[in-house]
Amino acid sequence: MPLASLCFALPPFAFFCAATQRAVGPLPSFSPAPPPPHKRRSTSTLRMPPLPLTRLNFVDARMYMRSAELKSKKAWVAWCKGGHRPSNIPSAPDKSYRDKGWVSWFDWLGFESQVFLPFEEARTLVHQLKLKSKNEWEAWRKGGHRPAKIPSAPARTYRDQGWVSMPDWLGGHGAAGTKRRR
């Protein structure tokens, strides 16, 4: 069956085939005539509705991400911004897979988690540095001198393990009026 007759047998495509009938030759006598130009649909009606986005399940998405061999959340963000993330993997997997198996970024990307020193040992080591303020801590931390076993964000890392305050962490006696958290 010629292409033109197939097109007119399928009503949604009739206007498309009518526009191309010169390319496929004259229409057979049994096919309906195309509508006049003023009654033809615009080409914007050709758009298909978007397909529902089907995300990979957590296990498959994690397996895919581990094969990408990214080593940090920072690398993940850069990878996503670079346009490498497939549309079936969420940009915020920690939120999308929260109750579906999410453990941590270490687990998601498949690299070893850092093991920090216990709070007391880390604090003793930081006391030996004799840093006097948070600004000095930040400069030291960002300066590339921090050992991997000391966290860069000790308040977050040791929140439930004895963290009190930055002055306590640095070896001071605490600023006046500072409340101690337990």
Q: What is the pLDDT of residue 171?
A: 87
pLDDT tens-digit map of 89-148: 888 998 989 888 888 888 888 876 667 889 999 999 999 999 889 999 999 888 888 888
Residues 103 and 141 in one domain: no
More confident call, 16 vs 43: 43
Q: Is residue 18 part of a domain?
A: yes
Taking residues 140-164, report their average pLDDT: 85
Residues 98 and 139 in one domain: no
Q: Is the pLDDT of residue 178 over 90?
A: no
Q: What is the pLDDT of residue 44?
A: 52
Instruction: Give the domain extent around 78.
Output: 58-109
Taking residues 11-18, report their average pLDDT: 45
Tokens in use for 114?
């850092």
More confident call, 96 vs 9: 96
Residues 139 and 101 in one domain: no
Residues 126 and 164 in one domain: yes
Residues 8 and 40 in one domain: yes
More confident call, 103 vs 17: 103
Q: What is the pLDDT of residue 52?
A: 58
What pTM value is reported for the model? 0.40
Of the residues 109, 132, 152, the one at which a domain ends: 109
Count of domains forming the chain: 3
Q: Is residue 178 part of a domain?
A: no
| Beta carbons within 8 Å of 119's beta carbon, 6+ residues apart | 158, 161, 162, 163
Question: Count of CB atoms within 10 A of residue 63's CB?
Answer: 11
**What is the pLDDT of the chain when averaged over all its residues?**
75
Question: Which 3-state string (H, E, C) describes the chain?
Answer: CCHHHHHHHCHHHHHHHHHCHHHHCCCCCCCCCCCCHHHCCCHHHHCCCCCCCCCCCHHHHHHHHHHCCCCCHHHHHHHHHCCCCCCCCCCCHHHHCCCCCCCCHHHHHCCCCCCCCCHHHHHHHHHCCCCCCHHHHHHHHHCCCCCCCCCCCHHHHCCCCCCCCHHHHHCCCCCCCCCCCC
Residues 166 and 128 in one domain: yes
